[in-house]
Structure 1
Amino acid sequence: MTYLSHWNPIRTLLHARPNLDVEAYLRGFEPRVVWAGHDGGALDIRLDLSEDEVAYHVKADIPGVDRNDIDLRVDGNTIHIAAEVKRGPAAKPGEKEIYSERFCGLASRTFSLPGRVDETKVTAHYENGVLTLTLPKKSEGQTRKIAID
């Protein structure tokens, strides 16, 4: 007859070496990030969004991008940010590139705000890899009582 037993390799290891620092021992076995193909290494545009009575405020991290390579579109309450990340020559003459994790290509982010934006008064500022937007809220008009005849 065959008996099944639960084997725990960590417990076996600790019985053999009771003073072993398990975390330090296993540190070399964590999965490595592999940048491959379609989505690997894509630039992730991260946002901070806040609002006050008159406007929405957006801070978007877009590092390594020239301000002329950023495309910003506002349509009602939908905001679209796109940026093209370009890389120069990877290696100097006589050097060979072994490995590169830096992204190059097109990155974009689209999100909706809870209210409409006045597109004519939007301001945008880009400095040190941070795009700062001020998106004034569009007044929905005053509520008015209508007399019924």
Structure 2
Amino acid sequence: MANVPSRSNLFDDFFKEFAPGFFIKPLHGDPLPSASQIRIDVSESDAAYTVLAEVPGVGKEDIHVSIDGSVVTLRAEVKQQDKRAEGEKVLRSERYYGAVSRSFQLPQDIDQSAAKAKYDNGVLILTLPKKQASGSQRLTIE
């Protein structure tokens, strides 16, 4: 499909030509970020995977990580705090409220009991130890 301008872009473009740099639209919130906007870096060592995920502007209590075998799911709840002084009106607000999540699969199962998470300056750092594959076991025949 051809590039179809969104409603907000169409009006922004119109008013830029009409009154460049002057118009401020009174809308509340833009769409939530897509899952691909939680950017991640994954590295691997012999014993573990390390995941760095960008989750800026979210409190660590609002980040949830779940592990199911080799599938890791990151979920972040973004909360907007509306504070207005009496007599003040909002001309534009681009912050939003909602949740965004992203799941990805690693090549090997994760040892959930030894997994660790740390959040520092908008970056979530996951240390995900690999589950040791149980080797084959020879059964004794009775």
- Tell me whether the two structures share a fold, i.e. TM-score over 0.5: yes
Aligned residue pairs, count: 112
Normalising by structure 2, report the TM-score: 0.69
Deviation at 1:54, TM superposition (A): 0.5
- Asked whether the 8 Å contact 1:42–1:103 carries over to 2, the reply is no
CA distance 1:59–1:40, change in 2 (3 Å): same
Larger Rg: 1
Once superposed, what is the RMSD of the aligned Cα atoms? Answer: 2.6
Q: Which runs of 5 or more residues in structure 2 are unaligned?
A: 1-15, 18-26
Q: Which runs of 5 or more residues in structure 1 are unaligned?
A: 1-27, 30-35
Normalising by structure 1, report the TM-score: 0.66
1:16-43, CA deviations, whole angstroms, 9 ceiling, x for partnerless residues?
xxxxxxxxxxxx88xxxxxx9xx83426
Identity within the alignment, %: 41
Runs of 4+ in structure 1 deviating by more than 4 angstroms, as ranges, are 143-146
1:90-119, CA deviations, whole angstroms, 9 ceiling, x for partnerless residues?
543332111222232101111100111101
> Which amino acid in the other structure matches residue 44 of structure 2?
E
- Asked whether the 8 Å contact 2:32–2:98 carries over to 1, the reply is no
Q: Partners of 1:62 and 1:46 in 2: how far apart?
A: 8
Q: Partners of 2:52 and 2:39 in 1: how far apart?
A: 8
Q: Tell me whether 1:102 sits opposite 2:88 in the alignment.
A: no
Q: Partners of 1:51 and 1:129 in 2: how far apart?
A: 22
